[in-house]
Amino acid sequence: MALAEAKDWRPKLVLASASPRRLALLQQIGVEPDALLPSDLDESPIKGERPKALARRLAREKAERALTVLKSRDDLKGAFIVAADTVVARGNRILPKPEHVEEGAQCLRLLSGRGHRVYTGLCVVTPKEGFRERLVETRVSFKHLSRQDIEAYLASGEWRGKAGGYAVQGRAGAFVTKLVGSYSSVVGLPLYETVALLTGEGYPVQMSWLNAV
């Protein structure tokens, strides 16, 4: 089969996110979404909600909202949907996705010199509207952050809107002394699990890699 024909045959795929990091991770494995369908969700935890439960719930809700939109669009009917949400926690304390400097500083002070956990909920919806879900847990340890470290990182602006107030793929990578689990999950999308779910449901990820060459 010619590559052009293979591209035409490939099922469509929707990424239920506006995150440039998740898009870049999919592109890294040769998967180019046909559409981005982000959801404007209130990501606040429900009272008493644990970090794992929050990550699972938000990933599922993002997928469900994308599915609702997808049903109204003839050009996307029958597409796969990939949705994810990442939560950073110290114990059962869920750290925010800070928008203000003081919030960002508080996150960095909490993580300084300590270990924390990053949970990414993943939800894939099949063309037959089956939901396939995974939760990926990664343990991360930070070095002790000096006042200068924190001030310089806050000045970079990389922390804004990121779970736990940092982006491991950026300057904060220099803070990490140990990471056990999935690096791509900390960035925002666990690639191993994403590929496993997609290929298990018949999405030709291997063919996508050929198409990307």
- Residue-wise pLDDT for 81-98, tens only, equals 999 999 999 999 999 999
Catalytic residue of the set 34, 74, 85, 149: 85
Structure-model confidence comparison of residues 6 and 183, the more confident one: 183
Mean pLDDT of the chain: 92
Angle between helices 101-111 and 147-156 (to 10 degrees): 140
* Cα 50 to Cα 141: distance, rounded to the nearest angstrom: 20
> What percent of the chain is modeled with pLDDT above 70?
92
Residue (of 161, 149, 41) closest to 95 by Cα position: 161
Residue 76 has pLDDT above 80, yes or no: yes
Domain 3-212: which topology?
A: Maf protein (3.90.950)
Band of residue 121 on the pLDDT scale cut at 50, 70, 90: very high
- Residue-wise pLDDT for 162-205, tens only, equals 999 999 999 999 999 999 999 999 999 999 999 999 999 989 88
Band of residue 213 on the pLDDT scale cut at 50, 70, 90: very low
Coil/strand/helix, residue 174: helix
Predicted pLDDT of residue 40: 86
pTM greater than the 0.85 cutoff: yes
Predicted pLDDT of residue 3: 35
40 catalytic, yes or no?
no
Range list of H helices, the chain: 3-9, 20-28, 51-71, 101-111, 147-156, 183-187, 191-200, 205-212
Domain boundaries, given as residue ranges, for the chain? 3-212
Residue 1 has pLDDT above 50, yes or no: no
Predicted pLDDT of residue 8: 53
Residue 131 has pLDDT above 60, yes or no: yes
CA dihedral 80, 39, 123, 197 (to 10 degrees): 30
